[in-house]
Amino acid sequence: MPLVVYGHPFSSYTQKVLIALYENATPFEFRCIGPDTPLHAAEWMRRWPLRKFPLLVDGERDIAETSIIIEYLQLVHPGPVRLLPEDPMAALDVRFLDRFFDLHVMNAAQHAVDGALTGDAVKRQEGKALAEKKLEVAYAWLEGQLAGRTWAAAGADFSLADCAAAPSLFYADWTHRISESYPVLRAYRTRLLARPSFARAVDEARQFRPLFPLGAPDRD
């Protein structure tokens, strides 16, 4: 049976897993969760009652949480692109950066998105202010961390950390623009957008841009 991914193309965390799959040309079936696919939604909720996507299904096994999904793929369905290094300490660095992008970039941007989704002007402004505060701290740290690097972790290899970074920085920059004060970070985001795996994920989600509650900019 082919691998099955339940998710949505515009979801940052779904894109994170799609990048990993595209990097290794791993065959899978994508089942979009939305109002037009009630059967997909029902099966997804049956398999994962916490109702978070993406969810990977491999035969009778359900795998949730993006970082775990990508590690599972490397263990069970490996390809030519190794997204976690063999060396344990190098792998630890990659895992740390993966968590940084998820927790301190993507989740920070989510404050603004959640505030906008309430429809309340005060909560929208509060969410935006909190997101901007947190993202500025993250951007400043990343500017120094990424200096002299092509990809997020030390070395020249694209990794799990970059799978997390691509959608995180993509949406974070829409939420609170990465200023010219951070040229290293801006250049890294540009490299991520040029990576074929992420470029494909971005293109597949382009039709959903009107859904972005903060207003998707006319770029990227």
Q: Percent of the chain scored above 90 by pLDDT?
A: 97
- Which amino acid, 207? Q
pLDDT given at position 79: 96
The phi-psi region of residue 33 (left if phi > 0; otherwise alpha if psi is between -120 and 50; otherwise beta) is beta
Two tokens, residue 10: 């515009």
Residues 46-77: b if buried by 16+ CB within 10 A, e if exposed: eebeeeebbbbbbeeeebebbbebbbbbbeeb
d(CA 89, CA 107): 26
* Cβ neighbours for 71, distance < 8 A, ≥ 6 positions apart: 84, 160
What pLDDT is recorded for position 71?
A: 98
Q: Bin 87: left if φ > 0, else alpha if -120 < ψ < 50, else beta.
A: beta
Q: Which of 34, 35, 7 is nearest to 21 (CA)?
A: 7
Nearest of 199, 144, 196, 143 to residue 167 by alpha carbon = 199
Chain Cα centroid distance, residue 7: 12
Say what the pLDDT of residue 87 is.
94
Q: Show the low-confidence residues of the chain (pLDDT under 50).
A: none
Q: In what order do the strands lie in the sheet with 3-7?
A: 28-32, 3-7, 55-58, 61-64
CA distances (Å), 185 to each of 43, 71, 136, in order? 39, 26, 12
Domains and CATH numbers, the chain: 4-77 (3.40.30.10), 88-203 (1.20.1050.10)
Which pLDDT belongs to residue 154? 76
Token duo for residue 99: 């968590």
Q: Are 168 and 128 in contact (CB under 8 A)?
A: no
Q: What is the pLDDT of residue 193?
A: 98
CB 109 within 8 A of CB 172: yes
pLDDT of residue 56: 98
pLDDT score for 162? 98
Confirm if 213 and 171 have CB atoms less than 8 A apart.
no
**182-195: pLDDT as tens digits:** 999 999 999 999 99
- What's the pTM value of the predicted model, to 2 decimals? 0.96
